Amino acid sequence: MDMKNDRFFGVLIPVLTPFRRDYEPDLPTFLSFCRSLLEEGANGLAVFGTTSEANSLSLRERRTLLGALVEDGLDPKLLLPGTGAAAIPDAVELTRAAVEAGAGGVLMLPPFYYKGVSDDGLFRNFAEIIERVGESRLRVYLYHIPPVAQVPITLGLVERLLKVYPQQVAGMKDSGGDWKNTQAFLDAFARGGFDVFPGAETFLLQGMRHGGAGCISATANVNPAAIARLYDTWTAAGADAQQTRLDEIRGIFAKFPMIPALKAAVAHWSGEEAWRTVRPPLVALTGEQSAALVSQLEQAKFTMPGLRQ
Amino acid sequence: MDMKNDRFFGVLIPVLTPFRRDYEPDLPTFLSFCRSLLEEGANGLAVFGTTSEANSLSLRERRTLLGALVEDGLDPKLLLPGTGAAAIPDAVELTRAAVEAGAGGVLMLPPFYYKGVSDDGLFRNFAEIIERVGESRLRVYLYHIPPVAQVPITLGLVERLLKVYPQQVAGMKDSGGDWKNTQAFLDAFARGGFDVFPGAETFLLQGMRHGGAGCISATANVNPAAIARLYDTWTAAGADAQQTRLDEIRGIFAKFPMIPALKAAVAHWSGEEAWRTVRPPLVALTGEQSAALVSQLEQAKFTMPGLRQ
């Protein structure tokens, strides 16, 4: 199993959630896609993240998908499900379900409805969830994604949480896209056993050189093997060239709405048109956008060899 | 019953949700508080709004509170529960429960997790909810509150929705705090039977003079009778002086975090200290803040005579 000291490391993937055309989760396709990502070299699956449209899913849907993965024989220690919610009872229910399923950890959004909330309020939120779940084996990774959640995870908040819950507070995902912020967290906490994952492979190499733990990246859904290879060989010659190539591919996806673009690429290379479906309020790429995306990816000699459908 | 043509009008109150010290909803206090607001002259109760900390409640908690109100004998046509959610299945569940309980309408947030979503995606979101609920008696009031939800309700979106669902799309609450926006919606839709409620009594008089339907305001939790009186007498002499007085009281609350300040005032005038409790990520006023609030309100000769505990 790909874990050192029961901690996540390497390339974790916020797995896309396939929907049928009626917006219901497509369970067989989800299971098959998860397996293919692990076969391609993913070190773990951060299911139910932002890229997974997890906040467009009900609690029951998330619990059903999690249960199906474990029942399907996937090692639960490789799972880092998203369990943050606007309401404490919801976060507690999802987190408890993840721990009971044996998940290696949970990736926890701050409560994201109210804006401008204080670190004091956020501390109480996370403390209340950890206390109510009441499990020493719980491992919480805090999820900093200010462009979406708008509510940040600050250095001061992490410091306070680590003081009271040094065992349960295990790390973070930094999806702020600001290297200076990632570096500040690495400098402050990485040597103390708090693992910092940049929220994109953009900062994979830079992160590893500063004590990072890997990355948790949307584009790892479509480019898992190459990202995992850089993680495995980041100290070797040619690492910078690998990073440049990863940036080139991500840069193409970043020209389009990210989640619909990732789904369009999977649809194209798998031949499964239903993969294009996103739940509202997201909207699938237009035919024109989709053609432009594929054309640019093909020009860059990108393909998805590992897809198994 | 205070309804013309089955539409809401007047002063609707996004009722504060009382919690016990362990953060559980205090049902008897909630029922009693709802009754006192109606006795004070509220024309309806917009339970489960932003002020109600509704997004800090689980679906089950919201459904339990709604069921208790109806079971307690409160006329369900006076209820405008908040039923918007980040996930379509959740919004459908809450909306269906509201319709089945006989609620006069629902106040619906846009899906608020993803930011920068298109009107096309928002249209599909609301359409999907209306279609899945599938009830001709459903009355949806769209909830525009960009400072919190960050996802706006635009003129174009309302126009599209009214075209397809003229019966179900009944109005909106505009909590943007920008009179020009409220006026644009009034100008575009008020004569067509789409009712626009400013999200604060600040614009009650101005709104009524431009075809508004009343207001839905947080501070109506603490000042219901005076706000209802302006609604009832807005065409009479002295309306401007009434508006000035309402603004004075609201202005005091607005110097503090609004929801904790409203709860602190209710705690002070009811003598029920538990009223101060807010769920994380909100934080109660400090003793100092609370004393300053009460002192300023007393100086302004404000009191809450109608509270029954």
pLDDT per residue as tens digits for the range A229-261: 999 999 999 999 999 999 999 999 999 999 999
Helix (H, G, I), strand (E, B) or coil at B25: strand
Per-residue pLDDT reduced to its tens digit, B20-53 = 999 999 999 999 999 999 999 999 999 999 999 9
Distance, CA of B81 to CA of B49 (rounded, Å): 7
Q: Does B131 touch chain A (CB under 8 A)?
A: no
> pLDDT digit string (tens) for A202-223?
999 999 999 999 999 999 999 9
Q: Measure the CA–CA gap between A138 and A100, rounded to whole angstroms.
A: 10
Total beta-carbon pairs less than 8 A apart between chain A and chain B? 112
**A58 and B113: CB-CB below 8 Å?**
no
Nearest to A100 by CA among A126, A72, A73, A134: A134
Alpha-carbon gap, residue B206 to B212, rounded angstroms: 8
Task: Report the gap between the CA of B249 and the closest CA in chain A (Å).
Answer: 23
Q: Is the pLDDT of residue B309 over 70?
A: no
Please report, rounded to a whole number, the percentage of residues in chain B having pLDDT higher than 90.
95
Looking at residue A206, what is its pLDDT? Answer: 98
Residue A305, both tokens: 């060899």
* B87 with A55: Cβ contact below 8 A: yes
Q: Is the pLDDT of residue A100 over 70?
A: yes
Q: What pLDDT, on the 0 to 100 scale, is given for residue B307?
A: 79
Partner residue opposite A121 with nearest CB, options B50, B148, B280: B280
Beta bridge partners of B131: none
Q: Read off the tokens for B294.
A: 């009460």
Query: Taking CB atoms and an 8 Å limit, are B283 and A121 in contact across chains?
Result: yes
Find, in chain B, the residue whose alpha carbon is nearest to that of A119: B281
A281: distance to nearest CA of chain B, Å?
4
Three-state DSSP state, B110: coil
Is A114's Cβ below 8 Å from some Cβ in B?
yes
User: What per-residue confidence (pLDDT) applies to B127?
Assistant: 98
Contact B224, B35 (CB under 8 A): no
Which of B50, B86, B280 lies closest to A128 in CB terms?
B280
Range B72-82 average pLDDT: 97
Are the C-beta atoms of B6 and B224 separated by less than 8 Å?
no
Phi then psi for A239, rounded to 5 degrees? -65, -40
Residue with tokens 């309302």: B158
B67 SS3 class: helix
Which residues on chain B are in Cβ contact (under 8 Å) with A24? Answer: none
- Give the pLDDT of residue A5: 62
Measured distance CA(B38)–CA(A46) in Å, rounded: 48
| Average confidence (pLDDT) over B114-139 | 98
Q: Which of A50, A88, A282 sits opposite B279 (nearest CB)?
A: A88
For residue B60, the chain A residues in CB contact (below 8 A) are: 89
The pLDDT score that the predictor gives to residue A156 is: 98
Question: In the predicted model, what is the mean pLDDT of residues B78-88?
Answer: 98
Q: Is residue A266 classed as helix, strand or coil in its secondary structure?
A: helix
State percent of chain A over pLDDT 70. 98
Check residue A1 and give its pLDDT.
Answer: 35
> A65 to chain B: which residues are within 8 Å by CB?
none
Q: Is A119 near chain B, with CB under 8 Å?
A: no
Q: For residue A55, give the DSSP letter.
A: G
Average pLDDT, chain A: 96
> At what angle are helices A119-133 and A88-100 packed, to 10 degrees?
40
Per CB-CB distance under 8 Å, the chain B contacts of A149 are: 113
Nearest to A282 among B110, B114, B147 (CB): B114
Within 8 A of B25 by CB-CB distance, chain A residues are: none
Q: What is the ipTM of this complex?
A: 0.96
Contact (Cβ atoms closer than 8 angstroms) between residue B200 and residue B220: no
Kindly indicate the confidence band of residue B267, based on its pLDDT and cuts at 50, 70 and 90: very high
Contact A118 B281 (CB under 8 A): yes
What element of type H or E holds A162?
helix A155-164
Whole-prediction pTM: 0.96
The answer to whether the CB atoms of A58 and B124 lie below 8 A apart is no
- Dig out the tokens for B197 from the structure: 């409620």
- As a whole number of angstroms, the distance between CA B10 and CA B190 comes to 15
Q: What is each CA distance from B11 to A56, B14, B252, in whole angstroms?
A: 33, 10, 20
Q: Is the pLDDT of residue A99 over 90?
A: yes
Residue with tokens 């009441």: A134
Gap between the Cα atoms of B298 and B223, Å rounded: 14
Q: B218 CB contacts (<8 Å, ≥6 apart)?
A: B14, B49, B50, B51, B200, B258, B259, B262
Judge contact between A41 and A11, C-beta under 8 A: yes
Residue B186 has pLDDT above 60, yes or no: yes
Residue ranges in chain B assigned as alpha helix (H): 27-39, 59-71, 88-100, 119-133, 146-149, 155-164, 179-189, 204-209, 224-232, 239-253, 258-270, 287-299
DSSP string, A1-29: ---BTTB--EEEE-----B-TTS-B-HHH
- The arithmetic mean of pLDDT across residues A171-176, rounded, is 98
Q: What pLDDT does residue B308 have?
A: 58
Cβ distance of A112 and B117 shorter than 8 Å: no
Chain B CB contacts of A114 under 8 Å are: 55, 148, 281-282
pLDDT confidence bin for B217, thresholds 50/70/90: very high
Query: Is B26 at the interface with chain A, CB within 8 A?
Result: no
pLDDT for the residue B5: 62
- Sequence-ordered list of residues with C-beta below 8 angstroms from that of A301, at least 6 positions apart, any chain: none
Q: Which residue of B has its CA nearest to A112?
A: B113
Q: Which pLDDT belongs to residue B6?
A: 79
Please say if the pLDDT value at position B3 is more than 50: no
B17 or A306, which is more confident: B17
Q: Give pLDDT, residue B1.
A: 35
The mean pLDDT of chain B is 96
Mean pLDDT value across residues B48-76: 98
CA–CA gap between residue B134 and residue B114 (Å, rounded): 26
Whether A131 has its CB under 8 Å from any CB of chain B: the answer is: no
- In single-letter form, the type of residue at position A159 comes to E
- pLDDT-derived band at A308, boundaries 50, 70, 90: low
Cα(B77)–Cα(B98) distance, rounded to whole angstroms?
Answer: 10
Stretch B180-203: mean pLDDT, rounded?
96
Residue pair A214/A9 in contact (Cβ under 8 Å)? The answer is: yes
* Alpha-carbon gap: B105 to the closest alpha carbon of chain A (Å): 22
B58·A23 Cβ contact <8 A:
no
Quick one: pLDDT band at residue B306, thresholds 50, 70, 90? Answer: confident
Please give the C-alpha separations between residue A101 and each of A52, A94, B62, B287, in angstroms, as whole numbers: 19, 11, 28, 43
Q: Is the pLDDT of residue B2 over 50?
A: no
Residues forming a β-bridge with B82: B107
B214 has a chain A CB within 8 A of its CB: no
For chain B, positions 243-282, list CB contacts with chain A under 8 A. Answer: 279-282
